[in-house]
Amino acid sequence: MVEERHRPQSAVQQQQQQTLSTMFTAVLVGIVLGGLIYFLVQRNKNQVLKVEDGWWGAGAPPDGEEDDTIRPFKVNTSDEELEDLHRRIDQTRPVAALEDSQFHYGFNSQYLEKVISYWRNDFNWKSQVDKLNQFPHFKTTIEGIDIHYLHVKPKKVPQGKTAIPLIMVHGWPGSFYEFYRLIPLLTEPSNPDDLVFEVVCPSIPGYGFSEAPHKKGFNTVSAANIFVKLMKRLGFQQFYAQGGDWGSLITTNMAQLEPQTVKGLHVNFAPIAKPSIQMILSMMFGRYFPNLFGFNDMDVKGVFPCKEKMLVNVLKESGYMHIQATKPDTVGRGLNDSPVGLATYILEKFSTWTKGEFRNLEDGGLTRKFSLDDLLTNVMIYWVSECIIPSMRFYKENLGKGLNPPHTKIPVVVPTGIACFPDELVYTPELWAKKKFHNIVSFSHMARGGHFAAMEEPQLMAEDIQKFTKIVEKK
């Protein structure tokens, strides 16, 4: 037998082998990296929200191009409209409130008499209409329905600066009027270091002076698609978006549909629709082991605000949502006929959603943060436009098909600012928000304010929008 002798390798051979293995490693790394990049790109591609253009007008879409003209619009009123309103208010049938019931059974009937009396005798709708018309309103037709919006340009833009386009979207039971004190703070900031904004405030289709969709299925993604088209029709290639309540979801959807177009997203409401196991565990045990779940003091206070079990509170406060997500047209009909019923239904939310503890007050704390003039102006927008039923239907269209529509699975990649107001209905710790918003550039714990923050604390809101936009503009 000839034994093969192991001969020492020559230096040349060794070098050859090394080169080979280096090449092999390089190719392997290349394949893995390439695959990873391909995977990430593909994944990101799949993670842009898609939507088909809709047609929400009555009947079949007409042949040919849609009329894309922009028409100036003014809110108007008439003596007949006011006489009709007053006659209906006068015919209300007062109900005795339960003794010592405050706002725990809903809007307190005794306090309601004061609101009604003010509405009937002191509230001046004509002068509120003038106030509404202080900003320029327009209408334009998109996907078959008339879209109403305010378009407020700064009176003057300082030299060397350009106005920053910003769309702000309201929710339920609010309206574009929620932004009236905030708008001038953004278009005419008093601080010379501040950015100057050009603001667009649309009414969600089915709300206020935007036409209601005539077809089923109009949800936040449909609204987002329409508002992106609106901004492009106004000539904005890129813009910022801000929202609360439904407006936060609509603007979030805009960022998911067009991450290249939406330069930055600022929301003051960021509920996570799709909770992870970690979130559920932290809801159950986070109060006792905050560190284990990465909660800071703010998070503990925010997620566990009161002694009451969170679930109990959610059940107590979400009845309206169940009705609106199932049979909006039934109860809505009564509200559309009765101004008193409508005001009761809407203003209860302005009490409880501004501060939960207001339920313990005889007057629901309504005028602690708002004037009756402002509250009733918002109610009047629902009354004169007869929009309560379509506004309620929006819940059915969004929640009727389960809590996890496709957009909840798609992350938001545009720079995002989140303003956490302490009395907001749900508090979202940054830890949770990061799961959906992958590029949070500012997360602010605000000093005061609840669900209707733009209306309640316009100054604080303006400051946070400035802070957020400055960060994004510097990048």
Residue type, 222: S
Interhelix angle 79-90/339-352, nearest 10 degrees: 80
Which lies closer to ligand NAG via its Cβ, residue 88 or residue 229?
A: 88
CB 264 within 8 A of CB 287: no
CB of residue 384 vs ligand NAG: minimum separation in angstroms? 7
Which lies closer to ligand NAG via its Cβ, residue 77 or residue 408?
A: 77
Which positions from 81 through 100 interact with ligand NAG, judged by CB under 6 A? 81
Parallel/antiparallel/unpaired status of strands 262-267 and 70-73: unpaired
Q: What is the DSSP string of 78-129?
A: -HHHHHHHHHHHHT----PPPTT-TTBTBS-HHHHHHHHHHHHHT--HHHHH
Q: Which range touches ligand NAG (CB under 6 A), out of 76-84, 161-169, 175-183, 190-198?
A: 76-84
CB of residue 274 vs ligand NAG: minimum separation in angstroms? 44
Residue type, 467: K
CB 382 within 8 A of CB 388: yes
Which positions from 195 through 254 interact with ligand NAG, judged by CB under 6 A? none
SS (H, E, C) 242-299: EECCHHHHHHHHHHHHCCCCEEEEEECCCCCCCCCHHHHHHHHHCCCCCHHHCCCHHH
Q: Which range touches ligand NAG (CB under 6 A), out of 5-13, 72-80, 107-115, 325-333?
A: 72-80
In the residue annotation, 451 being an active-site residue is answered as yes
CB of residue 147 vs ligand NAG: minimum separation in angstroms? 17
Q: Does 127 bind ligand NAG (CB under 6 A)?
A: no
Helix (H) or strand (E) holding 165: strand 164-169
Which lies closer to ligand NAG via its Cβ, residue 49 or residue 85?
A: 85
CA 464, 466, 470, 473 dihedral sign is: positive
Which lies closer to ligand NAG via its Cβ, residue 112 or residue 150?
A: 150
Per-residue tokens: 131? 């106030």
CB of residue 427 vs ligand NAG: minimum separation in angstroms? 42
Which positions from 255 through 284 interact with ligand NAG, judged by CB under 6 A? none
User: Which of 47, 51, 66, 77 contacts ligand NAG by CB under 6 A?
Assistant: 77
CB of residue 76 vs ligand NAG: minimum separation in angstroms? 4
Q: Which range touches ligand NAG (CB under 6 A), out of 74-82, 93-101, 134-142, 195-203?
A: 74-82
- Size of site (CB under 6 A) for ligand NAG: 4
Which lies closer to ligand NAG via its Cβ, residue 69 or residue 76?
A: 76
Interhelix angle 246-257/220-233, nearest 10 degrees: 70
CB of residue 385 vs ligand NAG: minimum separation in angstroms? 10
CB of residue 124 vs ligand NAG: minimum separation in angstroms? 16
CB of residue 307 vs ligand NAG: minimum separation in angstroms? 49
Which lies closer to ligand NAG via its Cβ, residue 81 or residue 113?
A: 81
User: Which of 78, 117, 276, 459 contacts ligand NAG by CB under 6 A?
Assistant: 78
Alpha helices by DSSP H, 47-71: none
Interhelix angle 372-385/125-132, nearest 10 degrees: 80
Burial (Cβ within 10 Å: 0-12, 13-18, ≥19) of residue 100? exposed
Per-residue tokens: 225? 């698609």
Distance set, CA 182 to CA 154, 187, 281, 355, 361 (Å): 13, 9, 38, 20, 28
Choose the catalytic residue: 111, 149, 177, 245. Answer: 245
Q: Which residue has the tokens 């714990």?
A: 445
The 8-class DSSP code of residue 211 comes to P
Choose the catalytic residue: 151, 266, 407, 451. Answer: 451
CB of residue 90 vs ligand NAG: minimum separation in angstroms? 19
In the residue annotation, 67 being an active-site residue is answered as no
Which lies closer to ligand NAG via its Cβ, residue 81 or residue 188?
A: 81
Q: Which range touches ligand NAG (CB under 6 A), out of 70-78, 106-114, 181-189, 267-275?
A: 70-78
CB nearest ligand NAG: which residue? 78
Choose the catalytic residue: 149, 345, 382, 395. Answer: 395
Q: Which range touches ligand NAG (CB under 6 A), out of 73-81, 250-258, 263-271, 425-433?
A: 73-81
In the residue annotation, 245 being an active-site residue is answered as yes
The 8-class DSSP code of residue 370 comes to S
Helix (H) or strand (E) holding 150: strand 145-152
User: Cis bond leading into 415, ω under 30°?
Assistant: no
CB 137 within 8 A of CB 209: yes
Q: Which range touches ligand NAG (CB under 6 A), out of 4-12, 77-85, 177-185, 265-273?
A: 77-85
Q: Which residues bind ligand NAG (CB under 6 A)?
A: 76-78, 81
Point out the residues that are catalytic.
245, 395, 451
